[in-house]
Amino acid sequence: MKLKINQTKLLNALVILSLCVIAFGAGYWINGSNKSPDEVLITTAYQMIMSDSIYNQHTDRELSYAAIRGMLTAINDPYSELIEPDAAQNFAQTFTGQMGVVGLFADKVGDRVVITIIFPGQPADKAGLRVGDVILAVDNVILNKDADSSETGLLIRGAPGSTVHLKVQRDTQSLEFDVVRQLREYVSFRMLPDGIAYIANNAFNSTASQKMKEGLTALLAQKPVGLVWDLRNNEGGDMQAAQDILSDFIKQGLLFSAELADNQTVQFSAKGNPIAGDIPLVVLMDKTTYSAAETSAAAVAETGRGQTIGSNSYGKGVIQATINLPEKALLQMTVARWHSPSGQWYQGRGVAPQIAVNDDPATTPDEVLQKAVEILTKK
């Protein structure tokens, strides 16, 4: 209910106070039978701000978004975000792998959206963007302190072949970049010398799950003596997809578990009948191995299915759910911690490889891949 006050009443503070009390009572009487006291509290405050505040310059929708963001700030969840409709429309296409990307990952640091990963060889890398750049605007949409990293990432994505204009701050400089989005191949595979098969996947989504099966089937038909699974430059994704893909390699047993807010635990186990359950396996990893990809590296190592080589992974040990809100908005928040088969939680510290090898970007050879091939050809 909105309360309208005429000029005469504005001159009388006592009358205003009385009307506020009446409005509160009316709101409680109208809504009290169907809402909890806290819901009535929020609704009544919202009604009063919209009706009577001389400072409020927001629309109903803007004020509703501000209230949601306020609640998300209060729970101190660094991954919780409200995704407004303009960005939310890209979400479904992103999950199915049909969206053009530029090859960067950004996190919220304080009240800024900061680039934390640049995927080598991708458009953002070629354009000259760097880790540490603060994103100020996307296609001239200025990011304010309420801007969220996932929402920003979705705004950056778009039709493959189209251009996104990014304005960033680097130290004291303000820089602008035009970056062409490209359709990312989430799975690539090939045969290497000495009978070694190589497969890389860059995300865990419904597209990658099916493409992994197709790639592994094609590679195994060539009778390789060993297999390299490259999880570098992997942005993570859906835990169900992680279970499906891990089940291509691991025959049985616990792959990982999710600890929910109510202290309940959901276990994700191998589904049986793996495509590549017996071939010698080495997994490549580094700081761009993120989220569900870290889960997979830990599962391979801790189950003894294969060896992990490279450097420490990113260190994201939590799981988000994305919920549809009314009016085509999305709410993303952390709903679980993921634990490795041995019960380890890798939040903030990452998964360490069993064999530490660093790739030197100044040299042409991929030292991590070379080490993997060396190990597999010695078996």
Higher pLDDT, 355 or 119: 355
Nearest by Cα to 250 from 199, 201, 300, 187: 300
The predicted pLDDT at position 364 comes to: 86
Average of per-residue pLDDT across 119-147: 90
The predicted pLDDT at position 11 comes to: 35
Average of per-residue pLDDT across 78-95: 79
pLDDT for 219 beyond 90: yes
Q: Could you tell me the CA-to-CA distances from 273 to 85, 198, 215, 303 in Å, in that order? A: 41, 21, 16, 16
Q: How confident is the model at residue 179 (pLDDT cuts 50, 70, 90)?
A: very high
pLDDT for 180 beyond 50: yes
- Output DSSP code: residue 204: B
Average of per-residue pLDDT across 300-328: 95
Nearest by Cα to 335 from 320, 324, 355: 320
Higher pLDDT, 12 or 113: 113
Q: Which residues contact 132 (CB under 8 A, 6 or more apart)?
A: 114, 115, 170
Nearest by Cα to 333 from 97, 111, 62, 73: 73
The predicted pLDDT at position 18 comes to: 35
- Which segment of 89-93, 132-136, 148-152 scores lowest on mean pLDDT? 89-93
pLDDT for 30 beyond 80: no
The predicted pLDDT at position 33 comes to: 52
pLDDT for 5 beyond 50: no
Angle at 335 between CA 329 and CA 341, to 5 degrees: 140
Q: How confident is the model at residue 335 (pLDDT cuts 50, 70, 90)?
A: very high
- Distance, in Å, from the CA atom of 28 to the CA atom of 22, rounded to the nearest integer, reads 10
Residue by residue, DSSP assigns 285-333 as E-TTB-THHHHHHHHHHHTTSSEEEES------EEEEEEE-GGG-EEEE
The predicted pLDDT at position 95 comes to: 63
The predicted pLDDT at position 24 comes to: 33
What mean pLDDT, rounded, does the chain reach? 87
- Distance, in Å, from the CA atom of 331 to the CA atom of 81, rounded to the nearest integer, reads 6
pLDDT for 15 beyond 50: no
SS3 240: helix
Q: Which domains are present in the chain? A: 7-57 (no CATH), 89-183 (2.30.42.10), 187-378 (3.90.226.10)
Q: Which residues contact 364 (CB under 8 A, 6 or more apart)?
A: none
The most confident of the ranges 6-20, 178-192, 344-358, 360-374 is 344-358
- Distance, in Å, from the CA atom of 226 to the CA atom of 280, rounded to the nearest integer, reads 5
Burial class (CB in 10 A: 0-12, 13-18, 19+), 34: exposed
- Distance, in Å, from the CA atom of 265 to the CA atom of 378, rounded to the nearest integer, reads 40
Convert the pLDDT of each residue in 32-73 to its tens digit.
457 889 889 998 998 999 999 999 988 999 999 999 999 998
Burial class (CB in 10 A: 0-12, 13-18, 19+), 59: exposed
- Distance, in Å, from the CA atom of 102 to the CA atom of 124, rounded to the nearest integer, reads 5
The predicted pLDDT at position 10 comes to: 34
- Distance, in Å, from the CA atom of 370 to the CA atom of 308, rounded to the nearest integer, reads 13
pLDDT for 93 beyond 70: no
pLDDT for 277 beyond 80: yes
Please give the structure tokens belonging to residue 220: 């195994």
pLDDT for 6 beyond 80: no
The predicted pLDDT at position 241 comes to: 94
Q: Identity (one letter) of the amino acid at 240?
A: Q
- Distance, in Å, from the CA atom of 132 to the CA atom of 115, rounded to the nearest integer, reads 5
- Distance, in Å, from the CA atom of 320 to the CA atom of 312, rounded to the nearest integer, reads 22
Residue 289: CA count within 13 A, CB half-sphere: 27
**Cβ pair 98, 268 in contact under 8 A:** no
- Distance, in Å, from the CA atom of 158 to the CA atom of 183, rounded to the nearest integer, reads 9
pLDDT for 292 beyond 60: yes
pLDDT for 19 beyond 90: no
Higher pLDDT, 145 or 369: 369
- With a pLDDT cut of 70, the percent of the chain lying above it is 89
The most confident of the ranges 47-51, 160-164, 220-224, 322-326 is 220-224
Q: How confident is the model at residue 266 (pLDDT cuts 50, 70, 90)?
A: very high
**Cβ pair 247, 274 in contact under 8 A:** yes
